[in-house]
Amino acid sequence: MITKPRRYQSESYRRYVASKDCFGCGISGYSQCAHANGGGMGTKRSDLDTFPLCATRPGHMGCHMMHDLCIGMTKAERRELEAMYIERMRAMAIEDGRPEFKEAA
Ligand SMILES: [Zn+2]
């Protein structure tokens, strides 16, 4: 492999991800753009490796925090979940015609 994965950043894409319903519980209106945790400490992931998870609100811990703290799942399960979420988000973005995925589509 010669191509080094570039770290893609896009605030507009992050806002788009956060506009979707939570992938964890399906609630709408609370989503944040969650980055995949895999890849090791200090590895900042691309903004395209993101998915919507709900924020913590009064009286309820959101899926985003549960995911980051790895609550109710093993690290291996989380990695699988992230791969699934990223795939799902990508399909959604391509369907919505997001420019970030134009070349990939
Ligand atoms: Zn949720």
| pTM for the model | 0.86
- Per-residue pLDDT for 43 more than 90? no
pLDDT tens column, 29-39: 999 999 998 65
Residue 66 has pLDDT above 80, yes or no: yes
By percentage, how much of the chain surpasses pLDDT 70? 85
CB-facing half-sphere around the CA of 43: CA atoms within 13 A: 11
C-beta of residue 63 within 8 angstroms of C-beta of residue 54: yes
| pLDDT at residue 11 tops 70 | yes
CA of 28 to the centre of ligand 1 (A): 8
Mean pLDDT for all residues in the chain = 89
User: What's the 100 CA to ligand 1 centre distance in angstroms?
Assistant: 25
d(CA 76, ligand 1 centre) in Å: 20
- The whole-angstrom separation of Cα 22 and Cα 28 is 6
CA dist 105 and 101 (Å) reads 6
Structure tokens at 80: 């699988």
